[in-house]
Structure 1
Amino acid sequence: MTSTRKCWEGLAAAVAVAVIALTGLSGAEAASPAERLPDNQQNLTFVPNFGVPSLDSAMVPLEMGTNQIMSNVLQALVTLDKKSIPQPQLATSWKWTTPTSLQFKLREGVTFSDGQPFTSADVVGSFDRFIAKKATLSAALSIITSYTADDPTTFTINTSAPTGTLLGVLSLVKIGQGTHSTDDVWWGKPIGTGPFVITSYVANDHVKLTRNDTYWGEKAKLKTLTFSLITDTNAKITALANGQAHVLGDVIYDQFPTVKAMENVTLTPADALTYYFLWFNNAKSPLTDPKVRRAMWMALDLPTIVQSLYGETASPMDSFCPSSAFGCVTAADMPSYDPKGAKALLAEAGYPNGLTADILLNTSNAGMDTLVSAFVSQWKAVGITVKPRAQDPTTWLADFSAHNWDMVVNPNATITGDADYTLNRLYNCAANRLGYCNPKLDALFTKAQQSSDPSERTALYQQAVNIMAQDAPGIPMFQTKSNVAALKSVQDLSIPPTEFIDWSTVYLTK
């Protein structure tokens, strides 16, 4: 673990992220631990804050809800610690043998939950699938030119140029059994090397995991872990209050007083890498015109909306990725609230009487309807009529992927703690995520990706976000805290900045 590892360690000082250990679950109360429940009662229910459109990590590698679950079932070559520095997982070590050749030594003695041994052939097959699917991780993986299984415990990646960001991206490439690389059905309920196995999945309802008793590492303390996909905010709070749920992945701000009043519950907001964006379909008229996009941005009083809906749990963004990630620097000349200026800009673009558009939102994201309602009201004030289209996670993903929308709002996260993950992955021409393409940006992103000098990379990202502020391909709205509520019977629960919880350490007490 040589040059790239050093680069990540150099960046770590600039990445101000935090992990929380929920007080009341560990720490001060550890001096008088409560009695642990017997094994047959170690059954925990978690209500996540994101939808789960699929369990196929290769098809939806960046879906937060999918990753929250599958990070406990499938594993990657590397994982990221609380400072976003790569650490060994299925690989025990790695080194750059040349500036463009990265070699991994794989962990020996690892088996999948069905008893099959894990080898480099499984890594090759999984990479084949992730790359062949050309899903949302494809832009970040495009620097890879080839990869080989040199022997059962050695795997090598070759790249088209030096890169300082690849290891972080590889933390998202989950490894399944190589013989199933083209089997969509298998990947819909895959067998992994992680501490849990999938026992049932009902779309838009629940996912149930059971402890993997053959796990190569320390066995999970929970016997079962159920992800209950509740979308109604009041129903989530009720489930926590009556003990049907042990942990809520997110509590919206207006429910804070209710949750804080529960004597048996701990609520702790902490910094995260999650943020919310609004994207324009840049390929669809009239949103092809940056004047129209800037006008719609200028019509929104984001600081007031964010403060009224989220209080201290969120803050308006001043760049296109969250400030807690490296390289997410403040953009110059970001549009600000100016309804008169918005009207004038619309008229200049040829829409003096306003325009009509729709906006797509995912019903699994708590409070999104309230946020969009505030936007619709302020757009109406400048003559823009916007129709919300609320959809369940599966339908939303289908329309979103097909670009069947004028605008879309959704949460995202800079999971690797590096601006490259958000800026280069989402906004380069090849990604084609929102019909936006600026070759000048692509050149800046490429130079930043290939550099291992933090100062040089920061300067390049500064140029990039300044261009994006002018183009206004979308609106970076606000970054959030992770507001997790848990019963005090839940022990050893830590929430990383990625919000991908390692449930293997968690257990329940009386």
Structure 2
Amino acid sequence: MRMKLTRRTFNLGLGSLALTAPAGRLNAQELAEKQFLGYAVGADDIKTVDPHFSVGTGELVGPYYEGLLAFPDGLVTNEGLRPGLATEWSVAQDGVTWTFKLRKGVQWHQGHGDFTAEDVKFSIERVKDPAVASPFADSLSAIGSVTVIDPHTVEIKTSRVEPSLPALLVNNQGGYIVSKHAVEAGVDLRTHPIGTGPFMFQEYRPRESQILVRNENYWGGTPKIERFTVLFMADDSTRQLALRSGDVHAIELPARQDVVGGMRDAGMIVDLMAPANMFSLLFNLKHKPLDDIRVRKALAGAIDRSALVQFLGKDVAAPELSPLPGGYLGHTDDVPYTPYDPQKSKDLLKEADHGGGLNLSMVCSNSNIYLSPMQVIQEMWKQIGVNLELKVVDHPTYHRLIREDVNPVVIYGAYRYPLTGTIYLTQFYHSKSAIGKPTASLNFSHYGEIIPGVDDLLDQARTELDQKKQVKLWEEAQRKITEDVVSVPLMTRKYAMARSPKLDLGSEPKSFYAINEKTRLLK
């Protein structure tokens, strides 16, 4: 699911609010009398809406929280970032001392006082604190210190020259600012968010909905939407029916050609958005026989990426060959990937003493975005004598179990911002990110821990100031990862959302739904 909600963004809910249109403005398209919107997500509940931990479907934090900077409406990019809670920023000649001037007059929700530099310092240090264990800590690792100069000025010093620092402080994951007062007062941000954004928390109904109301005192202007409701609907068909019947105005949609076509035929607008998750298989080197590269090559060579893309549809998916997704700075397809060759795969299995067949078992999420491609791969592997048992569990359980090392093979879809090799390659392939370590992230293969990996290359790239040299280091890392066959990049699958034609977003959703002061419901 992709519903990034930024400054002056998001407004999905249910209800009624009469708005008076400016004279002569809405002759062709008049506003609907009721301006409450409903949005259905593909989850049965939330795990947390604490912005420094929230990674799951349905956990919409952007209506509440903001960063020092903001994405352009509807677009995830490293460039063209806008002022958010900071009005201006600059870096000193030393290249490591940054000064951010903060917006005055911003209030925290529900009486938690003024937004100040103390909140910025508190938030950054909270994300970085190992005891807090935010999954986004690595994204702010370049920050050495945060100093409050005055209530509306903060100085950030980096431990190395980091030109992309502003992009790390955007309204995204570790860049969100939380209220120091609220946290220290004991407010549980997991279920009761306190932010500065255009919408405030009203009610959470477990396994049913989140209800938000507009922030009348929002610094960017009072939102037109009075409240919205986010409904939990894990079943794809139920969400589609709710949109068709008019019970909601937008839904998360499975990114499959047939589903997209069906919604379009029903008169709905379908938005396909990127950058999106690249899906890969990661081989757990701790599990036999995956410690044998011949077995890994056999499994990799039995996967036909073109068939996976055809299954999902050319509009929604594209094949990937490299461990770093296409479109990221440093990406290259010049890697020694294992081509599709079922007969070669059979020969490799025989050479590895598995000519009589191989049995594997793995847990898999019941989420369509994970289960469907794994079922296709299951059939592909059957053709070379590999019987894969899929033990289907709910999505939160899947995420818990794969972090307990239960799987010989993990399927995982991810995108990481900023769109460079630093965070993506580090999280999946650096030894410090191996599952089970205190610094664990997404290294399900234990690459670099079980066999030598790419730690040195990634560490050098992280501190390299010459971008051309930095790119070459990332390219070399991709080639080594591919040569060792610790993962099989499969495809990038776009995010899909469907909405009623009555929902006018006010901007083109290239990467996410940016719902702002121009967003409206039409008659």
Q: Could you say whether these structures have the same fold, taking a TM-score greater than 0.5 normalized by the shorter chain as the test?
A: yes
Q: Which runs of 5+ in 2 are unaligned?
A: 1-24, 435-441
Higher relative contact order (CA 8 A, sep 6+): 1
C-alpha contact (below 8 Å) 1:247/1:484 kept by paired residues: yes
Q: Percent identity?
A: 24
What are the residue-to-residue correspondences of 1:94-109 with 2, within 5 Å? 94-97=89-92, 98-109=94-105
Structure showing the higher helix proportion among its residues: 1
- What residue is the counterpart of 2:145 in the other structure? 146
C-alpha contact (below 8 Å) 1:84/1:416 kept by paired residues: yes
Distance 2:339 2:472 in 1: 24
SS of 1:74's equivalent in the other structure is: coil
SS of 1:430's equivalent in the other structure is: helix
Q: CA deviation at 1:200?
A: 2.7
C-alpha contact (below 8 Å) 1:94/1:102 kept by paired residues: yes
Query: Do structure 1's residue 246 and structure 2's residue 240 form an aligned pair?
Result: no
Q: CA deviation at 1:84?
A: 2.6
What are the residue-to-residue correspondences of 1:204-353 with 2, within 5 Å? 204-251=207-254, 252-263=256-267, 265-353=268-356
Of the structure 1 ranges 422-431 and 460-469, higher mean CA displacement relative to structure 2 is found in 422-431
Distance 2:324 2:40 in 1: 26
Name the CA shift for 1:472/1:200 in 2 (closer, same or farther; >3 Å). farther
Query: Do structure 1's residue 406 and structure 2's residue 403 form an aligned pair?
Result: no
SS of 1:213's equivalent in the other structure is: coil
SS of 1:444's equivalent in the other structure is: helix
- What residue is the counterpart of 2:83 in the other structure? 88
Query: Do structure 1's residue 57 and structure 2's residue 48 form an aligned pair?
Result: no
Name the CA shift for 1:308/1:436 in 2 (closer, same or farther; >3 Å). same
1:227-263 deviations in whole A, cap 9, x for unaligned? 2232222222211110112112334321233212223
Distance 2:473 2:196 in 1: 39
1:46 to 21, 39, 47: 39
Query: Do structure 1's residue 161 and structure 2's residue 174 form an aligned pair?
Result: no
Kindly provide the amino acid, as one letter, of the partner of residue 126 in structure 1: S
Distance 2:410 2:516 in 1: 32
Distance 2:509 2:422 in 1: 20
The CA RMSD measured in Å over matched residues stands at 2.7
Distance 1:288 1:500 in 2: 43
1:168-226 deviations in whole A, cap 9, x for unaligned? 23323211111344758234322000111222334554322221112111332222222
Kindly provide the amino acid, as one letter, of the partner of residue 120 in structure 2: V
* TM-score normalized with structure 2 length: 0.82
Distance 1:483 1:324 in 2: 19
Name the CA shift for 1:293/1:64 in 2 (closer, same or farther; >3 Å). farther
- What residue is the counterpart of 2:22 in the other structure? none
- Give the length in aligned residue pairs: 474
Distance 1:419 1:49 in 2: 30
C-alpha contact (below 8 Å) 1:64/1:412 kept by paired residues: no
1:346-403 deviations in whole A, cap 9, x for unaligned? 344443344333334333x335333221111111222222222333233233223333
Of the structure 1 ranges 99-108 and 280-289, higher mean CA displacement relative to structure 2 is found in 280-289
- What residue is the counterpart of 2:512 in the other structure? 499
Distance 1:161 1:257 in 2: 49
1:89-131 deviations in whole A, cap 9, x for unaligned? 1122222223333222221111112231001111222223222
Name the CA shift for 1:193/1:184 in 2 (closer, same or farther; >3 Å). closer
Query: Do structure 1's residue 436 and structure 2's residue 446 form an aligned pair?
Result: yes
Distance 1:162 1:343 in 2: 50
SS of 2:181's equivalent in the other structure is: helix
Name the CA shift for 1:410/1:332 in 2 (closer, same or farther; >3 Å). closer
Q: CA deviation at 1:31?
A: 8.5
* TM-score normalized with structure 1 length: 0.84
Q: CA deviation at 1:317?
A: 0.8
SS of 1:291's equivalent in the other structure is: helix
1:389 to 379, 388, 391: 391
- What residue is the counterpart of 2:494 in the other structure? 481
Of the structure 1 ranges 370-379 and 279-288, higher mean CA displacement relative to structure 2 is found in 279-288
Kindly provide the amino acid, as one letter, of the partner of residue 122 in structure 1: D
